[in-house]
Structure 1
Amino acid sequence: MSIASLEAALPGLMVQRLEVPQHINWQVIFDGLGTGLPDDYIALAESYPRLEIGQFLSVTSPAPGNEAGFVEVAREDLAGAEGMAQKGMLGGYPAFPESGGLLLWGSSIDGDEFYWRTAGQPNEWTVVVAGRNDDWYHYEGSLTGYLAWLCSGTAAPHGLPPNFPGPEPVVSVG
Structure 2
Amino acid sequence: MEELMGTQKPVRRILAPEEAIAALERVVPGLAELRRQDKGVFDWRTAEEKLGTGLPSDFKALAEWYPAFELDDFLGVFTPWPGEEGEWAEARDEEARDSSYDADLRPPELVTTHLISWGESKEGDRFFWSVLGDDPEDWRVTVCSRNGPWWHYAGGVVQFLTELCDGVLEPWALPPVRPEVTGWGDGEGGWQVTV
Q: TM-score range by the shorter chain?
A: 0.7 to 0.9
**C-alpha contact 1:12 1:171 (8 A) present in aligned 2:** no
Instruction: Give the root-mean-square deviation of aligned CA atoms.
Output: 1.8
How many residues end up aligned between the 2 structures? Answer: 165
Q: TM-score, normalised by structure 1?
A: 0.86
Could you tell me how far apart the structure 2 residues matched to 1:170 and 1:70 are?
21
Question: Who is 1:173 aligned against?
Answer: 184
Could you tell me how far apart the structure 2 residues matched to 1:85 and 1:76 are?
12
User: What is the CA distance between 1:138 and its match in structure 2?
Assistant: 1.0
SS in 1 for 2:102: helix
**CA 106–154 in structure 1, closer or farther in 2 if over 3 Å, else same:** same
Question: Structure 2 matches for 1:76-95, cutoff 5 A?
Answer: 76-80=94-98, 84-87=101-104, 89-92=105-108, 93-94=110-111
| Runs of 5+ consecutive residues of structure 1 not aligned to the other structure | none
Could you tell me how far apart the structure 2 residues matched to 1:172 and 1:128 are?
23
SS in 2 for 1:13: helix
Tell me which amino acid in the other structure corresponds to 2:66.
Answer: Y
Once the two structures are overlaid, the 10-residue window that deviates more, 72-81 or 113-122, is 72-81
2:30 equivalent to 1:12: yes
Higher-strand-fraction structure: 2
2:162 equivalent to 1:141: no
Could you tell me how far apart the structure 2 residues matched to 1:41 and 1:171 are?
20
2:46 equivalent to 1:31: no
**C-alpha contact 2:93 2:117 (8 A) present in aligned 1:** no
2:124 equivalent to 1:111: yes
